[in-house]
């Protein structure tokens, strides 16, 4: 597990107006048990300055604990996790930290699994094979309060 201190507001200079603007940063908890893919997710997120990874964990029980402790704005959650699967972790997180938005990032693409993910309180679902092209699109959609479903999923819920 890695925890990072984050800034809640970043300054951005508006060249046309000649003044600094404050852009709120988005605090992200990444939950993925496969270390190379966890690094890939963090690398994708790092391309957007306002997305701040505040913690990375590799199991569902720890995800619930860290979500409650850190109260992230956004949680990227795998389904196949040790200790507690992602669907059950999401249900617990929604009860304890309802303001956190959840996006599943999983290799599962069946309609039943996608539907169960949304039933657990998620707003987004990205199939891992599409993460490079769809993760940031999903993050932006979910942050606007919209649902996002990966193009490779069997169901567009």
pLDDT at 152: 76
pLDDT at 1: 55
Give the pTM: 0.85
pLDDT tens sequence across 80-125: 999 999 999 999 999 999 999 999 999 999 999 999 999 999 999 9
Q: Are the beta carbons of 152 and 129 closer than 8 angstroms?
A: yes
Q: Which domains does the chain have, with CATH numbers?
A: 2-149 (3.40.50.2300)
Straight-line distance from the first to the last Cα atom of the chain, in angstroms, rounded to the nearest whole number: 32
Return d(Cα 146, Cα 77) in angstroms, integer.
17
| Residue 26 predicted with pLDDT over 70 | yes
Where residue 8 falls among pLDDT bands split at 50, 70, 90? very low
pLDDT at 61: 98
pLDDT tens sequence across 39-86: 999 999 999 999 999 999 999 999 999 999 999 999 999 999 999 999
Where residue 153 falls among pLDDT bands split at 50, 70, 90? confident
Give the residue-averaged pLDDT of 24-48: 97
| Residue 16 predicted with pLDDT over 70 | no
Give the residue-averaged pLDDT of 27-39: 98
58, 62, 75, 76, 80 from 1: Cα distances, Å = 7, 9, 15, 15, 17
Q: Are the beta carbons of 59 and 83 closer than 8 angstroms?
A: yes
Q: What is the CA radius of gyration of the chain?
A: 15
Place of tokens 């970043």: 10
């Amino acid at each position: 597990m890695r925890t990072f201190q984050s800034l809640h507001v970043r300054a951005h200079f508006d060249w046309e107006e000649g003044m600094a603007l404050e852009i709120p940063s988005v605090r992200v908890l990444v939950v993925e048990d496969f270390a190379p893919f966890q690094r890939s997710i963090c690398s994708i997120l790092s391309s957007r300055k306002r997305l701040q990874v505040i913690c990375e964990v590799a199991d569902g029980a720890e995800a619930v604990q860290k979500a409650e402790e850190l109260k992230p704005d956004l949680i990227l959650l795998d389904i196949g996790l040790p200790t507690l699967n992602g669907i059950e972790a999401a249900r617990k997180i929604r009860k304890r930290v309802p303001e956190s938005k959840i996006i599943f990032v999983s290799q599962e693409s069946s309609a039943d699994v996608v539907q169960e993910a949304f039933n657990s309180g998620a707003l987004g679902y990205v199939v891992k094979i599409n993460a490079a092209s769809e993760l940031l699109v999903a993050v932006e959609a979910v942050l606007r309060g919209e649902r996002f479903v990966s193009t490779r999923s069997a169901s567009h819920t």
